[in-house]
Chains A and B, each alone.
Chain A
Amino acid sequence: MRKLLTLVLAVALLSSCSNSSKKTTEGKAVDLTAAGATFPLPFYNMVFKQYGEETGSTVTYGGIGSGGGIRSLKDQVVDFGATDGYLNDEQLTEMPGEVLHIPTCMGAVVIAFNIPGVDSLKLSNDLLEKIFMGDITKWDDIQITSNNEGVTLPAMDITVVHRSDGSGTTQIFADFMTKISEKWASQVGVGKSLNWPVGMGAKGNPGVAGTISQTAGSIGYIGSEFAFAQKISMAKVQNSAGNYVLPTIETISAAAQGEIPADTRIMLTNSSDPASYPISGFTWLIFYKDQAYNNRSEDQAKQTVDLLKWMVSEKAQNEAPKVHYAPLPAAAVEKAKAILSTVTYNGNPL
C-alpha cells in the first residue's frame, strides 16, 4: 500500500513539472525534487525560484503537507523533505538512514477573531484555555471583560473555528496550549489534528480565515504568513514573562533568542524571552546525512547541499520578511551551517 502511494506521489510530483526528470546531467545544473509542508510554501517558492535563476538548477517543491514530506523522504523519492514539526526520536529510528534537520525560517500561529466593533483583544493563558475548551461561551463573560478594560464586548456566543485538515499550524498551537494549560494537556494534547472539545472545522488557512471573517463572534488560529498578508485582526497573547504581545516579524524572531540544541530540534512555543510572541516556531528541511541513496549521483548530492546552504544564507534569509516570515537568528544559522558541514556521500565528506 505504502509503495503504491509513494509511486502515485512520485509520478504526481514528477509530472507536475515536465522538465523535472531525475536524470542528472554532466554539467552543474541539476533538477532537485522536494516535498512537504505547506506553511513555508510562499517563502520556498520565492527562494527556490531565485536559486534556479542563479544556478540554472530547477527545484520542484510539492506542498503536500509535513506528513507527506516525511513519507517522501522515508521512501527516498525526494532530494529533501520539509516539515513544520521535527521528527521525534521514534520517527528518526524508523527512517532508513540518518536524517538531519535544518531550520529555514520562522513563523507563528496568530489568534484571529471577528467581534463586531472590537479591534483589539488581550488574551491571558487562562482565557485561551477557557475559550478553546468551551468553558467560556459568551464574549461579554466577566473573565474576558475584566482582562480587556476599555473594550466593549458584545453579548454574543463564542464560535471556535479550527483546522479540519491535519496541519503543522495546529501542532504548534496545541504545543503552546499544552504548555500553558494542564486541562488542555490531559484532555486534548498535541498533534497535527486534534479531538476538539468545541467548535467547527474549516480547511486550510484560507478556510479558517474565511469562516472567521464571515462569522460574527468567532475566534480561531491561523498561520502568521497568511494572517499578515490578509491583514486579519489578531489578539495579543500573554507570554511566559506575563507580557501581552502582538505577533510581528520581530516578536516572532525573539522567540528563538534562547539556547538552541545542536540538532535544532526544539519547539519554540512559550519562549522565555520577554519580548517574544509565544506561539512561534521553526520550520525545517529534512534530508539524509549520507546523500548516496536511490542511485543519486554525487553531483545531485552536491547540488542538494548547495541549495540547503543557500536557504540559510543571508541573501535568502533577508527575503523571508517579504513574504511575512521571520528570518532565523544568527545562532540558528550557525547551527544549521554546522549540521550541513557533516553531510557525506558514501561516507566521504562533500
Chain B
Amino acid sequence: MNSDKITRLVLSLGSFILIIVAAGMVYSLVMGSIPAFKTFGFKFIFSNNWDPTYGKENYGALPFIAGTLISSILALLISLPLSFSASLFLGEYFKGTRVARILSMLVDLLAGIPSIVYGLWGFYVLRPLMIELGIGSQGFGVFTASLILAIMIIPYATSLSNEIIAMVPNDLKEAAYSLGATRLEVIQTVTIPSAHSGIIAGYILSFGRALGETMAVTMLIGNSNKVPDSLFGTGNSMASVIANQFGEADGLKLSSLIAIGLLLFLITAIVNGIGKLIIKRMQ
C-alpha cells in the first residue's frame, strides 16, 4: 500500500468513528427520553410545572429552556460590544503591536480558565457587587449568570473574528485608502463586509458555548425551577438542572432529564444551522 492509500484509510476511519459517536449519542438520548415524551407528549416542552414529588410527578422543560435561552442571549448581547471592539483592536487598529500581543494573550487566557473558577469568582465578587447595587434577590439570578457567561464567551468570539479581520487582504484596504477613505470608512466598507461571515461564526460558536455552560451558571442563577419572572429574578438552565438532578434521578425523572438533554442538543443544532444559513446568505 502506498502512503496515499494509508492516509485515506486513516482519515476515513477517523471520520467514520466520529459519525458513529454522534449517532450513538443521538440514539441514546432519543431512547432515554421516550418515556418522558410518551407520558407528557409535546406538552413536556411547553409545561412550566416541574414537580418531582412521588405520586404527583409532573415534568415540564419550559423553565429550563427559558432560563437557558434568556441567559445565553443576554450573555451574547453583553459580550458583543466587548468582543467586537477587542477583535477590531487586535486585528485592525493595533495589529502586530506589543499591546495587541499582550491583550490577545489575556483574551486567550480567559478561555483557559476552568468554569468552576468563574463560578467562584462570580459567587464571591460579582454577587456581593450585585447586592451592593441592589440588583436581584441577594445578587443571584439570570442577570448575574449572564454577566459571568458573557465574560466566559468573549475569547471565543474575539479570537475567531480577530483572525478573520486580520486576514482581510491589504490590497483591498489600500485601494480604499487610495480613494481617500478614512480608517473608519475602510472598516465599514471593506474590513467588516469581507470578514462578516467569520465574525458571525465566532458569535455563533460563543453562543453555543453559553448554551451548554453548567458549573458557573448553577452557582449564580439561583436554581429555582420556574420561568424567571424578570431578568433579575432567579431561574435555572437546562445543563444546570441535568447536572444537579441526574445523580438521584430514576424512572420518569431520569427520562425527563435525558429529554431535556435531547432538547438542548436540538437547540444547539438549530442555532448552528441558523448560523450556517446566515453565513451562506451573506457570502
Q: Is the CB of A214 within 8 A of B258?
A: no
10 A-B pairs with least C-beta separation: A166-B248, A201-B223, A164-B223, A65-B247, A189-B53, A67-B248, A200-B222, A195-B51, A165-B244, A1-B32
* A1 with B28, Cβ < 8 A, contacts A67-B250, A194-B52, A218-B138 known: yes
Query: How many chain A residues touch B (Cβ–Cβ < 8 Å)?
Result: 35
User: Are B56's CB and A189's CB within 8 A?
Assistant: yes
B interface with A by C-beta (< 8 Å): 28, 31-32, 49-56, 123-124, 127-128, 137-138, 140, 218-219, 222-225, 234, 236, 240, 244-245, 247-250, 258
Min CB gap A156→B, angstroms: 11
Kindly state the separation between the CA atoms of A70 and B28 in the bound complex, as whole angstroms: 22
Instruction: Choose one: A65, A165, A195, A207; the contact of B50 (CB below 8 Å).
Output: A195
Contact A203 B218 (CB under 8 A): yes
Q: Looking at the complex, which one of B54, B137, B236 makes contact with A190 (CB distance below 8 Å)? A: B54
Contact residues of A between 195 and 213, Cβ < 8 Å to B: 195-196, 199-203, 207, 210
- What's the least CB distance linking A132 to chain B, in Å? 14
Could you tell me the distance between the alpha carbons of A214 and B240 in the complex, rounded to whole angstroms? 21
- If the complex has contacts A1-B28, A1-B32, are A196 and B248 also in contact, measured as CB distance less than 8 A? no
A207: chain B residues at CB < 8 Å are: 219
Nearest-neighbour CB distance to chain A for B130, whole angstroms, equals 12
Q: Does A122 contact B (CB under 8 A)?
A: no
Inter-chain CA distance A218–B137, complex, in Å, is: 11
Chain A nearest CB from B139 CB (Å) reads 8
In the complex, besides A189-B55, A200-B138, A200-B234, 17 extra interface pairs with C-beta distance below 8 angstroms are: A1-B28, A1-B31, A1-B32, A65-B248, A164-B223, A167-B248, A188-B53, A193-B52, A194-B53, A195-B49, A195-B53, A196-B225, A199-B224, A200-B222, A202-B219, A203-B219, A215-B138
Neighbouring A residues of B123 by C-beta, 8 Å: 210, 214
A interface residues, Cβ below 8 angstroms from B:
1, 4, 64-68, 70-71, 157, 159, 164-167, 188-196, 199-203, 207, 210, 214-215, 217-218
How far apart are A3's CB and chain B's nearest CB, in angstroms?
10
Q: Select the residue from B32, B53, B234 with max chain A CB neighbours within 10 A.
A: B53
The docked-state distance in angstroms from the alpha carbon of A159 to that of B249 is 27
